[in-house]
Every structure is written in C-alpha cells, then in structure tokens.
C-alpha cells in the first residue's frame, strides 16, 4: 500500500513516527511519503517538507505568513497527486489537514485521520467537513468516542500514543546519576518546559523563570525543543546564570523534577503519566480580552489533557491573564510544600493511568488502518 502522511508540528511528528514504524512492520510493501519531521523520516517515510515550514500559531502569525501557507498547500497538492497513494493519513493540525482532506476526496483518494482535531474545544462545525471528507477517524482520547457518537459519526478509539512513548523509555536513572551526567547540582529540580513553538517560548519562558527563581532551595532546568536554536534560550537565560538548559531530555527532566511548569499540550499528559506534579500555562497576545472571548467560544472547562480526561480540575491551569508570575509562584509553593495537595495530585495521576489503559495505540492504529485498506481494495 502507498501512504501519504501530513503532520504539521513536533507532537504530530512524534506520534506519526510511531505509527509509520508500525505500518512498515505490518505492511512489508508499504511506501510512505509526506509532510512531517525527522522522526517520521527515521521511521521509514520519505520526507518532502519539514513541519518547521508549517508551524504557525495564532491569528497574526498566520496572517503574516499567508504566502508561505498557500505555497505549502500547492506543494502538498501537487506531491499528493504525483504520488497517488492508497490513503492520505492526516495527523491533527486541522487548519491545514481538513483542507487537504477535501482536496484528496475530490481526487478519489481515501482519507484517514489519526488524532482528532479538538472540535470538542471549539469549531464544532468542523464535524461537517469530517463527515464529508474523512473516511475513518482514529481517536486517542477516551471521551472522544461518545462525543463523536452524539454527533452521528463513528470513530475508532485506539488508545493514547503518549502512553506508548512514555512506557517505551529506558528505566529511570537515580537522581545522583542524572545530575552528575548533566553537570547539575544536588538541589531538587523545578523543570521548565515552555513548549516547542517559538511564540510559546517567548511568551511563557520569561514568566516561568521569574516565578521559579524565587525558590532558591531548588535548581531550575529548562527543557529545550530540538527545533529551536540555542541562541533563543540564551537570550532569556542570560539573567539567570544558574539555570541549566538540556536538549532532548524532557522525559528525563519530568522523571527527576520535584515539580514542572509547562506549556499546555501533550507534555501535560506526559507529566501525568510520569507522576510529575505540574502547573499548566497557556498564553497568547490579548490577555484578558482573549480569555473573555474564549469563554464565549470555547465549549470546554479545561485545556490540559489531564483535566480533560479526568473531567475535573486535577492540575492547576493558568490561562491568558491568569498566567502571571504571582500565580505561577503560588502554585509552585503549594506543590512544593503542601503535603495534602501533593497527595491529591498523585491520586489523580493514579486515576489517569487507569483511564488510559494499556500501551499499544500505534500498533492497534496501524493494524486497523491496514485491515480497512485491504477491505476497500
């Protein structure tokens, strides 16, 4: 079979790479091509465009890069038609991918969607395009099955690939070995994980650093995204010479950290699986105004995956104007000193593990996709 993939950001590259690897194992004649990242390429896909040329977040960045976005669409459409795959496999990234789904269907190409667009947060109207242009949806969050069923659309729940990724990690090393290998001190660690997008890092990292630097009995360790140049981080860290910067060790940092301050996204779920206490941040330009607008548009109460899956406030979320140095500092204080709060967080993580179930999402998704394609052929 011939598979064309589109993943438009780092998390999509990660999860799609595991799916690509499983497809290669299960379909010996598989040919894979598409947009993504080095992880997908390493797993066996021919990479035609890197997600770095596609990762624009927010109204203004999209507006400022319209020509680049249009060029990406044209390149993708031409490459898709030249390749003539048996299926187009879309990975999250709905602004781009739903348009490509429509294009593919108009040209007789079957469309699978892996990792649903978050239409349960906003833009619920996208269900019309999903019904019209997506042949099969493969979901990774337990509550999405009932959500889509209520909208008259059946999905295939495969489990969460984040669980696969975390459980496939090498065994946790002891704290002394970790700090020695990374030239850190013996103080407890506060992990700072400001995301993989440049906009997120510029918005969140200064607040993280200012808030966490108050805890002089701890050391601060920043997790650097592989797609961001070190000079960007150096510009923020020059005021904080004691802060350490580590590349490609986000899991290890969360394993060893007493607490983590992190950008909203997949990393929140990773921290939950690793039982790392966390403060979740989300901020875009617009502050209180965007928050007010969001309350009238967004259809959910929480943004972090831990809270979404558990359907309650299990970890603290600080959104928009609430994402202040003062509020971050206060929640860090609670997580570091309040034993009752610490115990409640760990109990929530135990419940999260029960809800997520067993690993194997990528393997199950690949098996389902191959089976359905064989049925269609």
149: number of CA atoms within 13 Å, CB side?
7
What digits encode the pLDDT tens for the residues 222-259? Answer: 999 988 999 999 999 999 999 999 999 999 999 999 99
Please, which pLDDT band fits residue 292 given cuts at 50, 70 and 90? very low
Indicate whether 129 and 210 sit together in one domain: no
Indicate whether 366 and 293 sit together in one domain: no
Indicate whether 349 and 366 sit together in one domain: no
Give the per-residue pLDDT at 303: 86
Say yes or no to pLDDT of 13 above 80: yes
Mean pLDDT of 320-345: 96
Say yes or no to pLDDT of 297 above 50: no
Please, which pLDDT band fits residue 293 given cuts at 50, 70 and 90? very low
Question: Which of 55-69, 129-143, 150-164 bottoms out in mean pLDDT, i.e. has the lowest?
Answer: 55-69
Indicate whether 313 and 368 sit together in one domain: no
Cβ(73)–Cβ(42) below 8 Å: no
CA-based radius of gyration for the chain: 21
What digits encode the pLDDT tens for the residues 56-102? Answer: 555 455 555 566 668 889 999 999 999 999 999 999 999 899 999 99
Indicate whether 156 and 175 sit together in one domain: no
pLDDT mean across residues, the chain: 91
Q: Distance (Å, rounded) from C-alpha 354 to C-alpha 163? A: 12
Indicate whether 104 and 250 sit together in one domain: no
Domain CATH for 372: 3.40.50.2000
Give the per-residue pLDDT at 57: 54
Please, which pLDDT band fits residue 359 given cuts at 50, 70 and 90? very high
Give the per-residue pLDDT at 56: 55
Give the per-residue pLDDT at 9: 86
Say yes or no to pLDDT of 209 above 60: yes
Indicate whether 231 and 344 sit together in one domain: yes
What does residue 49 show for φ and ψ, rounded to 5 degrees? -155, 135
Give the per-residue pLDDT at 69: 67
Mean pLDDT of 38-48: 97
Indicate whether 147 and 242 sit together in one domain: no
Say yes or no to pLDDT of 6 above 60: yes
Give the per-residue pLDDT at 287: 45
Mean pLDDT of 318-336: 96
Indicate whether 309 and 320 sit together in one domain: yes
Indicate whether 147 and 190 sit together in one domain: no
Cβ(298)–Cβ(122) below 8 Å: yes
Q: Nearest 5°: CA angle at 45, between 58 and 65?
A: 20
Mean pLDDT of 31-52: 95
Give the per-residue pLDDT at 289: 43
Say yes or no to pLDDT of 139 above 70: yes
Which residues form the domain of 333? 169-356
What is the count of structural domains for the chain? 2
Question: How far is the CA of 329 from the CAs of 42, 261, 271, 318, in angstroms?
Answer: 40, 10, 19, 11
Q: Distance (Å, rounded) from C-alpha 207 to C-alpha 281? A: 10
Mean pLDDT of 314-339: 96
Indicate whether 146 and 194 sit together in one domain: no
Indicate whether 215 and 135 sit together in one domain: no
Mean pLDDT of 44-58: 80
Give the per-residue pLDDT at 288: 45
């Amino acid at each position: 079979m011939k598979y064309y993939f589109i993943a438009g950001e780092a998390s999509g590259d990660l999860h799609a790479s595991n799916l690509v690897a499983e497809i290669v194992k299960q379909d010996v004649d598989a040919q894979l091509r598409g947009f993504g990242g080095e992880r997908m390429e390493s797993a066996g896909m021919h990479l035609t465009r890197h997600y770095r040329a596609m990762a624009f977040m927010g109204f203004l960045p999209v507006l400022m890069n319209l020509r680049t976005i249009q060029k990406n669409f044209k390149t993708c459409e031409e490459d898709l038609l030249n390749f003539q795959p048996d299926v187009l496999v879309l990975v999250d990234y709905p602004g781009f991918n739903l348009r490509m789904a429509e294009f593919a269907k108009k040209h007789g190409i079957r469309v699978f969607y892996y990792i649903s667009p978050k239409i349960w947060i906003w833009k619920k109207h996208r269900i019309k395009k999903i019904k019209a242009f997506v042949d099969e949806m493969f979901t990774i969050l337990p509550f999405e099955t009932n959500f889509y069923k209520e909208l008259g659309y059946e999905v295939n729940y495969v489990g969460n690939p984040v669980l696969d990724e975390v459980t496939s990690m090498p065994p946790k090393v002891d704290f002394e070995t970790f700090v020695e290998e990374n030239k850190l001190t013996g103080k407890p660690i506060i992990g700072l994980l400001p995301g993989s997008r440049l906009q997120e890092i510029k918005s969140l990292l200064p607040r993280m650093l200012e808030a966490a630097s108050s805890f002089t009995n701890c050391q601060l360790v920043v997790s650097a995204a592989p797609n961001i140049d070190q000079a960007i981080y150096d510009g923020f860290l020059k005021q904080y010479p004691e802060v350490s910067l580590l590349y490609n060790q986000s899991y290890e940092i969360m394993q060893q950290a007493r607490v983590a301050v992190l950008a909203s996204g997949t990393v929140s779920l990773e921290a939950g699986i690793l039982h790392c206490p966390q403060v979740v941040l989300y901020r875009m330009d617009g502050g209180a105004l965007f928050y007010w607008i969001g309350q009238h548009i967004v259809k959910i109460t929480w943004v972090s995956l831990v809270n979404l899956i558990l359907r309650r406030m299990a970890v603290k979320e600080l959104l928009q104007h609430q994402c202040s140095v003062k509020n971050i500092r206060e929640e860090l204080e609670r997580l570091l000193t309040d034993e009752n709060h610490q115990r409640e967080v760990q109990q929530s993580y135990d419940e999260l593990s029960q809800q997520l179930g067993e690993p194997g999402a990528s393997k199950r998704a690949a098996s389902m996709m191959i089976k359905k394609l064989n049925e269609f052929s």
